[in-house]
């Protein structure tokens, strides 16, 4: 008899895998993005299962709320967002299957090689701890990296405006 935690782990994992398979096999690209959304929500569920709530919140805010929105935007920017994609041919199917098997074997060998063992002491992952380290100006604090992150984000913002504003067309589009 499996423990309840294990049962939940397998349910969540099956959900993630199912959504991932659907995302790559569906022929409508918008549905593919929605399945990706489901898969990422499943990963957030896995983080909740691991009781790392902050990481789960980050996963939902950044990946589900940000990256998928970005992907959906870029789908809407293409002309063929509503049409079905053409069927893939046999050689492409075979090679993608081989790539999947190679990736699977690589992850298996890595897990086997390092044999991740459960730690003995409980892992303190309180958000307040993250906050204390992040704002600590002392020797083992991360106040300077924290401020550097804002510079990084500023650079990203300016960069995306400079690059993307060039391609903004004139008012002819709807």
**Contact residues for other proteins (CB under 8 A)?**
4, 54, 57-58, 61-62, 65-67, 69-70, 73-74, 76-79, 81-83, 127-128, 130-132, 134-135, 137, 143, 146-147, 149-151, 153-154, 156-158, 160-161, 164-165, 167-169, 171, 173-174
Rounded CA-CA distance 34/127 in Å is 30
Nearest approach in angstroms of CB 125 to other proteins is: 11
How would you class 140 by CB atoms within 10 Å of its CB: exposed for 0-12, middle for 13-18, buried for 19 or more?
A: exposed
Choose between 8 and 22: whose C-beta lies nearer to other proteins.
8
Choose between 70 and 118: whose C-beta lies nearer to other proteins.
70
Choose between 83 and 92: whose C-beta lies nearer to other proteins.
83
Q: Please choose, from the candidates 129, 109, 5, the residue with its C-alpha nearest in 3D space to the C-alpha of residue 55.
A: 129
Rounded CA-CA distance 113/87 in Å is 39
């Amino acid at each position: 008899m499996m423990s309840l935690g294990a049962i939940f782990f397998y349910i969540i994992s099956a959900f993630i895998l199912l959504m991932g398979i659907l995302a790559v096999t569906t022929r409508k690209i918008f549905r593919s993005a929605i399945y990706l959304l489901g898969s990422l929500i499943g990963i957030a569920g896995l983080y909740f299962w691991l009781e790392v709530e902050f990481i789960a919140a980050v996963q939902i805010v950044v990946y589900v709320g940000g990256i998928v929105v970005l992907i959906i935007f870029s789908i809407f920017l293409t002309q063929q967002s509503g049409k079905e994609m053409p069927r893939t041919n046999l050689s492409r199917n075979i090679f993608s299957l081989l790539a999947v098997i190679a990736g699977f074997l690589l992850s298996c060998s890595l897990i086997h090689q390092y044999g991740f063992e459960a730690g003995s002491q409980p892992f303190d992952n309180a958000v307040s701890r993250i906050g204390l380290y992040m704002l600590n100006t002392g020797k083992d604090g991360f106040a300077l990296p924290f401020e550097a992150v804002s510079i990084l984000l500023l650079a990203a913002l300016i960069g995306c405006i400079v690059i993307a504003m060039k391609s903004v067309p004139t008012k002819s589009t709807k």
